[in-house]
């Protein structure tokens, strides 16, 4: 009798950069086991990052499906909503419903690539024979829910994820190229929005205040790129808008414009960028996944572990910066020591432009 195809559940709920850092491990899994059923549990807002199985003839949503997608099915985990209403009956119904769906899937393995208590709790619901995670997860309580704890190996989080997944299966997995979805309507929108001229995409946001390089400095970089190299800058913003993005545009004195976009539109926009500039934030890791040149400005987080992966990049970090994940509001002091001139010089170098 032929062996039953593997059924594996990946738990990496968010955020954007973290999902992107988990994708090379799953791409390696798909390459090694094309017949496997791969499920992924994540926040619905990040589902557009996953190339999901579908009907190749179904173009009703404007999606071009490949023959074998990266993920067979994704499962909505609205953790942010649950956190706001932890005792609400609807939250309990959602969790019980998710547990029922997971257990009906009969997964052989569940792998927590996040290492938080909430992600471990989600993985535990699947009741898989093997539930694996790191032996030193981000939150120590998470390991109590694992049936197998595996030491992290590798410097970068991408390497660590591939090693963890490989150890679970008893084989070596090396990070693989990421197939990101191509949404036809978003691609047309991007063509209409930016045309054919080269541009720099600026992403001034970040997970918390300590990682935010000042928005007025991003604006000054945009102005310099326009004056020296004739490169237009586009500032990333959510569909609802962004105060930081507006501040960047204002500080650029009309050398940058704000372009709000959905996630699928941001993917299309990033594909066309000649360069992406930002901090340790999702759009910068998206650019790396799409192999676009990146200037990354780091402060409290360690670029050796969390920096741009597998793309041409210049990472700027002051020697006085101290690695910390404390969610403080003020920018980390070392981050503020990175001058506009250094960022502009790195950008011009990647663009192949002469220094002023």
pLDDT digits (tens, 9 = 90+) for 57-108: 343 333 333 346 899 999 999 999 999 998 899 999 999 999 999 999 999 9
Residue 327: CB atoms within 10 Å: 10
User: In this predicted structure, what is the pLDDT of residue 241?
Assistant: 85
Which residues belong to CATH 3.40.50.2000 in the chain?
7-169, 184-351
Nearest residue to 242 (alpha-carbon basis) of 221, 257, 254: 257
Give the pLDDT confidence score for residue 61 in this predicted structure.
39
Say if residue 26's pLDDT is above 80.
yes
User: How far is 325 from 262, CA to CA, in rounded Å?
Assistant: 27
For 27-52, what is each residue's pLDDT tens digit?
999 999 999 999 999 999 999 999 98
The pLDDT of residue 54 is 60
Residue with tokens 């890791």: 285
Q: State the pLDDT at residue 17.
A: 96
Which CATH number describes the domain made up of 7-169?
3.40.50.2000
pLDDT band at 355 (very low <50, low <70, confident <90, very high): confident
The number of beta carbons lying within 10 Å of the beta carbon of residue 11 is 29
pLDDT tier for residue 3 given thresholds of 50, 70 and 90:
low
Q: Is the pLDDT of residue 55 over 90?
A: no
Question: Which three-class secondary structure state does DSSP give residue 41?
Answer: strand
Summarised one tens digit per residue, pLDDT across range 187-227 is: 999 999 999 999 999 999 998 999 999 999 999 999 999 99
Residues contacting residue 245 through CB under 8 Å, at least 6 positions apart: 204, 205, 215, 235, 236, 237, 258
Alpha-carbon distance of 220 to 213, in angstroms, equals 12
Distance between CA atoms of residues 265 and 245, nearest Å: 17
Q: What is the mean pLDDT of the chain?
A: 93
Does residue 2 carry a pLDDT above 70?
no
| pLDDT, tens digit (0-9, with 9 covering 90-100), for 162-180 | 999 999 999 999 999 998 9
Q: What is the pLDDT of residue 62?
A: 38
184-351 is classed in which CATH architecture?
3-Layer(aba) Sandwich (3.40)
Q: What's the Cα-to-Cα distance from 142 to each of 24, 41, 137, 179, rounded to whole Å?
A: 23, 16, 7, 30
Highest mean pLDDT among 77-81, 240-244, 317-321: 317-321
pLDDT tens, residue by residue, 219-236: 999 999 999 999 999 999
pLDDT of residue 65: 36
């Amino acid at each position: 009798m032929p062996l039953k195809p593997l059924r594996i559940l990946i738990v990496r709920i968010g955020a954007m950069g973290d999902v992107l850092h988990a994708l090379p491990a799953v791409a390696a899994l798909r390459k090694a086991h094309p017949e496997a059923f791969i499920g992924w549990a994540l926040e619905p807002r990040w589902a557009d990052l996953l190339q999901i199985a579908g009907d190749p003839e179904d173009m009703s949503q404007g999606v071009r499906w490949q023959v074998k997608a990266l993920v067979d099915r994704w499962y909505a985990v609205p953790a942010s909503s649950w956190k706001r209403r932890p005792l609400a009956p609807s939250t309990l119904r959602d969790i019980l419903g998710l547990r029922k769906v997971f257990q009906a899937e009969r997964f052989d393995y569940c792998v927590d690539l996040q290492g938080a208590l909430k992600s471990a709790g989600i993985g535990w619901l699947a009741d898989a024979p093997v539930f694996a995670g790191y032996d030193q997860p981000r939150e120590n309580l998470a390991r109590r829910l694992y049936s197998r704890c595996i030491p992290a190996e590798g410097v970068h989080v991408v390497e660590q994820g591939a090693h963890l997944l490989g150890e679970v299966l008893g084989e070596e997995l090396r990070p693989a190229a990421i197939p990101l979805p191509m949404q036809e309507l978003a691609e047309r929108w991007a063509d209409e929005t930016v045309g054919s001229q080269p541009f720099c995409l600026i992403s001034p946001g970040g997970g918390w205040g300590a990682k935010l390089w000042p928005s007025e400095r991003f604006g000054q970089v945009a102005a310099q790129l326009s004056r020296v190299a004739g490169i237009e800058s586009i500032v990333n913003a959510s569909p609802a808008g962004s105060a930081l993005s507006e501040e960047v545009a204002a500080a650029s004195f009309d050398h940058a414009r704000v372009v709000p976009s959905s996630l699928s539109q941001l993917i299309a926009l990033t594909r066309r960028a000649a360069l992406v500039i930002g901090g340790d934030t999702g759009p910068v890791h998206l650019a790396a996944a799409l192999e676009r040149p990146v200037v990354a400005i780091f402060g409290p987080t360690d670029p050796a572990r969390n920096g741009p992966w597998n793309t041409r990049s210049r990472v700027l970090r002051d020697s006085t910066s101290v690695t910390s994940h404390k969610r403080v509001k003020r920018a980390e002091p070392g981050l503020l020591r990175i001058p506009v001139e250094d960022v502009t010089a790195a950008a011009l170098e990647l663009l192949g432009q002469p220094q002023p």
